[in-house]
């Protein structure tokens, strides 16, 4: 094995570090448990259908590609604009923070390294803020 091949074999994507599709699915399941149970998430829970099956699938598929794995969302649903997908909802600071709280709590119970948990929360804060910026002025 060459030095380049050795270096490549020791590098990992966030997708692999998160446990691939099975690990991402566990994260998303925990995220939606939080959305269902945390009082702070009531407003954003009410923006979702009662049956969260499709919401779970979409978030799992999105995170798969976003973390460097298979681009399942695009394969199944086509291109995505995160702010555009949420345009019909009034999303301000409270809603953004509730979403991030659900994700923070979901990340906390995953068997990920602290570095990965911190990275994912920081990285997910960027599109969460973008959704707030784009959608807050709509309502």
Supply the pTM of this predicted model: 0.88
Report residue 48 as tokens: 């979702």
Alpha helices in 1-139 (DSSP H): 3-10, 14-17, 20-37, 42-45, 53-66, 72-77, 82-85, 93-108, 114-136
- In tens digits, what is the pLDDT along the chain, a chain of 139 residues? 444 444 444 578 999 999 999 999 999 999 999 999 999 999 999 999 999 999 999 999 999 999 999 999 999 999 988 888 898 899 999 999 999 999 999 999 999 999 999 999 999 999 999 999 988 755 4
For the chain, domains (ranges, CATH) are 21-136 (1.10.490.10)
């Amino acid at each position: 094995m060459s030095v380049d091949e050795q270096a490549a074999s020791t590098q990992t994507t966030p997708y692999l570090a998160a446990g691939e599709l099975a690990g991402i699915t566990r994260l998303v399941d925990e995220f939606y448990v939080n959305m269902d149970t945390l009082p702070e998430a009531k407003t954003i829970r009410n923006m979702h259908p009662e049956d969260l099956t499709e919401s779970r699938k979409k978030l799992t598929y999105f995170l798969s590609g976003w973390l460097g794995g298979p681009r399942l969302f695009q394969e199944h649903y086509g291109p995505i604009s995160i702010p555009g997908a949420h345009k019909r909802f009034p999303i301000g600071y409270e809603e953004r923070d509730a979403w991030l709280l659900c994700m923070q709590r979901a990340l906390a119970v995953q068997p990920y390294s602290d570095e990965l948990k911190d990275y994912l929360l920081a990285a997910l804060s960027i599109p969460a803020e973008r959704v707030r910026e784009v959608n807050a002025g709509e309502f």
